[in-house]
Amino acid sequence: MKVLVATDKPFAKVAIDGIKKVVVAAGFELALLEKYTEKQQLLDAVADANAIIIRSDIVDAEVIAAAKQLKIVVRAGAGYDNVDLEAATAHNICVMNTPGQNANAVAELALGMMVYGVRNFYNGSSGTELLGKKLGIHAYGNVGRNVARIAKGFGMEIFAYDAFCPAHVIEQDGVTAVQSAEELYKTCQFISLHIPATAETKNSINYELLSTMPKGGMLINTARKEVINEAELIKLMEDRTDFKYLTDISPSHHDEFTTHFPGRYFSTPKKMGAQTAEANINAGIAAAEQIVNYILHGNDKFRVNK
């Protein structure tokens, strides 16, 4: 059995060591494809792989078709919008994610970006504090919960909206559950996005929603760029000079944001949320264990293409 780790953005070495241990202990072989620059390199590497561990790497119908021996793909992370689930299902390939494994890392970055934003990108001028301010967590999954836990330490007043998570689950964390996204945005000066990119959420963060945010509004995006209606966010930031946007996923209109909104826009050059040794170890080793459990024991607990 050959397990391929195909990551454009490599895991920390310590995580690769851990993955290797799990794979070798099961009697499997490990192959590595890191920092590849051409899709063809991925197509070649998957040809004889029985299992693949990926991150945000694109596994589309072409990759699936090239992977003739493939049984399972594990996205070491939360969002699996980079995998063509239909193509995988059609080829009888199991797709899994590793929910929660990198959640704390992403949540710490979200709070770090908030501090960076309120301190005016550390430009030496007088900023503001997070203490006592209202934070809206948009989607209360694993990352959202960690954001709430850390934001409590900052003394923020925390609200959350999640279309699928019952209000009592949110409230038991000492977080106020609101009934709609509209209510969340109207209430909170700070919004932290944790929604996945789906047909329903793509482009859903728009002018109408953002324009209701209180003065000094700040949007933090450690989720996906696709959920933002970029043209409308640009229009909003033109109309509201108090508004800041900080993102861990470089927008398609990055240059336009940079030119038009100096001091109010920041993007990491490469997605950094899950890029810690701890998150790499957690997600990478969980992925390896899930592969071994699936191949040897048929355990498909984290399958997402049922």
Footprint on this chain of ligand 3PG (rule: CB under 6 A):
9, 55-56, 77-79, 102, 271, 273-275
CB of 30 to ligand 3PG, least distance (A): 18
CB of 80 to ligand 3PG, least distance (A): 8
Closer CB to ligand 3PG, residue 56 or residue 189? 56
Closer CB to ligand 3PG, residue 142 or residue 206? 142
Closer CB to ligand 3PG, residue 8 or residue 300? 8
Residue with tokens 């100096």: 262
Three-state SS letters, 206-217: CHHHHCCCCCCC
Closer CB to ligand 3PG, residue 6 or residue 177? 6
Closer CB to ligand 3PG, residue 131 or residue 199? 199
DSSP structure string for the chain: -EEEEEESSPPPHHHHHHHHHHHHHTT-EEEEEES--SHHHHHHHHTT-SEEEESS--B-HHHHHH-TT--EEEESSS--TTB-HHHHHHTT-EEEE-TTTTHHHHHHHHHHHHHHHHTGGG-SS-----TT-EEEEES-SHHHHHHHHHHHHTT-EEEEE-SSS-HHHHHTTT-EE-S-HHHHHHH-SEEEE-----TTTTT-B-HHHHTTSPTT-EEEE-S-GGGB-HHHHHHHHHH-TT-EEEESS--TTHHHHHHH-TTTEEE-SS--TT-SHHHHHHHHHHHHHHHHHHHHH---TTBS--
Closer CB to ligand 3PG, residue 106 or residue 191? 106
CB of 173 to ligand 3PG, least distance (A): 21
CB of 126 to ligand 3PG, least distance (A): 34
Closer CB to ligand 3PG, residue 187 or residue 247? 247
CB of 203 to ligand 3PG, least distance (A): 18
Closer CB to ligand 3PG, residue 118 or residue 219? 219
Which residue, among 34, 90, 28, has the nearest Cα to 45 in the 3D structure? 34
- Measured from each CB, the residue nearest to ligand 3PG is 77
Strand partners, 83: 59
CB of 112 to ligand 3PG, least distance (A): 15
Amino acid letter, 258: T
CB of 275 to ligand 3PG, least distance (A): 6
CB of 56 to ligand 3PG, least distance (A): 3
